[in-house]
Copies of this chain bind each other. A is one copy, B any other.
Amino acid sequence: MNIGEAARASGISGKMIRYYESIGLIAPVGRTDAGYRVFSDKDIHTLRFIFRARSLGFSVEQMSNLLALWHDRHRASSDVKAFALTHIEELNSKINKLQAMRETLEHLVKHCHGDERPDCPILGDLAAESVELDDKLAL
């Protein structure tokens, strides 16, 4: 299997496969005499693991840890669970931040009449001299 087939089989672009290899997330795979990369079924399996972890929002560094846990046949499932729970907390934190932003914006939008007149509380609040908005933004 060359890199194009591996990309199609794993869902990870060839470009990213080379990148993951260059930073050491995956070990260098085999090569033909001409220097073409050759991917084994095991390599594809690892790439699919990475694809799924990435889809769950894990960073490269976190995926590196996950791969280590995966390859450690003696790890406790509680270690993996703790890792996942930490990640869930990170996701929650991001979600909360984005929701707070959305709510502030929705509040501003609600008070903007949205017609052809130029006065608009959205820009007004962004430009406010007061500290009112700061409290809302202290997420």
**A residues bordering B, Cβ < 8 Å?**
45, 48-49, 52-53, 55-57, 66, 69-70, 73-78, 80-82, 84-85, 87-88, 91-92, 94-95, 98-99, 101-102, 104-106, 108-109, 112-120, 122-123, 125-129, 133, 137, 139
Number of copies of this protein chain within its complex: 2
> What residues of chain B lie closer than 8 Å to A73, measured between beta carbons?
118
From B78, B109, B122, B127, contact of A116 by CB (8 A): B78
From B82, B92, B116, contact of A102 by CB (8 A): B92
- Looking at the assembled complex, report how far the CB atom of A11 sits from the nearest CB atom of chain B, in whole angstroms: 8
Q: Which residue of B lies closest to A53 (CB)?
A: B126
Cα A91 to Cα B98 in complex, Å, equals: 6
